[in-house]
Amino acid sequence: MHDKTLTELAAGLAAGEFSSRELTQALLARVERLDGDLNSFITVTAEQALDAADRADAARAAGNAGPLTGVPLALKDIFCTEGVKTSAGSKMLDTFVAPYDATVVEKLRAAGTVSLGKTNMDEFAMGSSNENSFFGPVQNPWDPNAVPGGSSGGSAAAVAAGLVPAAMGTDTGGSIRQPAAFCGITGLKPTYGRVSRYGIIAYASSLDQAGPLARTAEDCARLLTAIAGHDPRDSTSVARGVPDYTEELDAPLAGLKIGLPREYFGEGLDPAVEGAVREAIGVYESLGATVREVSLPHTHYAIPAYYVIAPAEASSNLARYDGVRFGHRCENPADLTDLYKRSRAEGFGEEVKRRILMGTHTLSEGFFDAYYKKAQRVRRLIRQDFLDAFDEVDVLMGPASPTPAFDLGARKDPVSMYLQDIYTIAINLAGIPGISVPAGFVGNRPVGLQILGTHFAEARLLNVAHQFQQATDWHLRRPALAEETL
């Protein structure tokens, strides 16, 4: 059962081929057997999962099943889940049990899905390799020496390894799309405001957005339909109707205008990755799309602007972890300052501290205008680049990452790690949606094709990705680990 897509599993459940309990048990057994090395989960909630599976089976028996009833999945450990540890990959929250459900979790629960647990991640979603987790690195299912990408590395690895058909992630600068690319699966970052952020532990509030990681665009469409929508508890969520995102999947692509941003095919791009991406674009041409080059002239400002805005917001968002009300508290504090200093020094990892320092610096008196305000101006220019491009073309395409998954421990220098996100980060600054789909391999490591659309163009993006997956089988390839049956 583990080799099926979410769509196939939902159909199997609906047809009574297996129960949610049987499916859940089978997947929990795989987690038990394979995740010791993989380390994609921080917390496995087997008992709650089986209870939820039983409820789903009962609902189906009573004729109350929805399209996702009984479908298992996993949640990045950044989504607050009532009664379950929610750590954000940090020692700071190692003991934090959330007293409430995030809106996304509430919606998935209401849809009858079954969560197997909470997946590993870079601490507070800061990282591109999942090596910044307090709970240890995650292996890439395609190659145990490779990173799975980050920060939603656990979610991507769990799906690629066939532990769950889908998992929820968050994407602040590429944290869904890059690990999806590294692990050979499909990952969607929706438009900022499409999915509620309530209950998602904040990294950078103006950039964070939740989305699905799954095998196929069709699976992502089903999940987005379940989690999208306005939430009165999140003022930045947009009051806009939610379509059934599966409805447009089959629309033909003839006449589709594809733009290739010149800046996404320049220096630093691995030629093998470029080859795979260009081949994928050839597939689109054969499907009737036209391709032209476009320019996003402010692309090279995206990483610097991001590393001003995101750390600034993070430095403030992470101030609540002070050892006073919840989370890590140092032993025997001498006084208040000592309590703050040691609790935070002990509770946060190195990358988190680095970003808090950067953000504190750029917001401080005398630097605010030069950094933060200027970065916001750059952000507007970057957004305008995309809007101008979408006046000419329907979607933009390019690589999700300049390289395939790199080796564990290979990127020691933070800046080289930051440059990993060169093709994904501007998308968050602009607030537009993006999806990464499997598009080939370099050796045994997958390559992701990134497809971008204008604000709220998720239905179109999913259609474009789905049609590619109808014409290719990259998304059906499985690592040896996932082929393994019990």
Active site residues: 76, 151, 175
Residue 199 touching other proteins (CB under 8 A): yes
Residue 182 touching other proteins (CB under 8 A): no
Binder to other proteins among 29, 58, 244, 368 (CB under 8 A)? 368
Q: What are phi and psi of 147, to 5 degrees?
A: -80, 155
**Of 169-177, 183-191, 316-324, 459-467, which segment contacts other proteins by CB under 8 A?**
316-324
In the bound state with other proteins, the residue whose beta carbon lies nearer, of 104 and 269, is: 104
Residue 336 touching other proteins (CB under 8 A): yes
CA atoms within 13 A on the CB side of 298: 25
Residue 88 touching other proteins (CB under 8 A): yes
Q: What are phi and psi of 228, to 5 degrees?
A: -75, 165
Tell me the C-alpha to C-alpha distance, in Å, between residue 82 and each of 96, 115, 244. 11, 12, 28
Binder to other proteins among 25, 48, 290, 316 (CB under 8 A)? 316
The minimum distance between CB 200 and other proteins, in angstroms, equals 6
Helix (H) or strand (E) holding 36: helix 20-38
Q: Is the peptide bond preceding residue 19 cis, with omega within 30 degrees of 0?
A: no
Residue 325 touching other proteins (CB under 8 A): yes
- Tokens of residue 328, six digits: 């890590």
The minimum distance between CB 482 and other proteins, in angstroms, equals 32
Binder to other proteins among 58, 110, 324, 387 (CB under 8 A)? 324
Q: How far apart are CA 231 and CA 235, in angstroms?
A: 8
By DSSP bridging, strand 186-189 and strand 210-214 are: antiparallel
Q: How far apart are CA 382 and CA 301, in angstroms?
A: 8
Binder to other proteins among 53, 56, 80, 427 (CB under 8 A)? 80
Sheet holding 186-189, edge to edge: 41-44, 114-119, 72-76, 166-170, 210-214, 186-189, 434-442, 445-452, 395-399, 257-261, 290-294
In the bound state with other proteins, the residue whose beta carbon lies nearer, of 79 and 284, is: 79
Residue 334 touching other proteins (CB under 8 A): no
The minimum distance between CB 311 and other proteins, in angstroms, equals 12
Site residues for other proteins, window 219-248 (CB under 8 A)? 232-236
- Find out whether 346 and 329 touch, Cβ atoms under 8 Å: no
Q: How far apart are CA 339 and CA 345, in angstroms?
A: 10
- Tokens of residue 256, six digits: 């589709």
The minimum distance between CB 441 and other proteins, in angstroms, equals 37
**Of 243-251, 363-371, 420-428, 457-465, which segment contacts other proteins by CB under 8 A?**
363-371
Binder to other proteins among 21, 118, 177, 197 (CB under 8 A)? 197
Q: Site residues (CB under 8 A) for other proteins?
A: 79-80, 86, 88, 93, 96, 98-100, 102, 197-202, 204-206, 232-236, 312-313, 315-316, 318-320, 322, 324-326, 336, 340, 360, 363-365, 368, 372
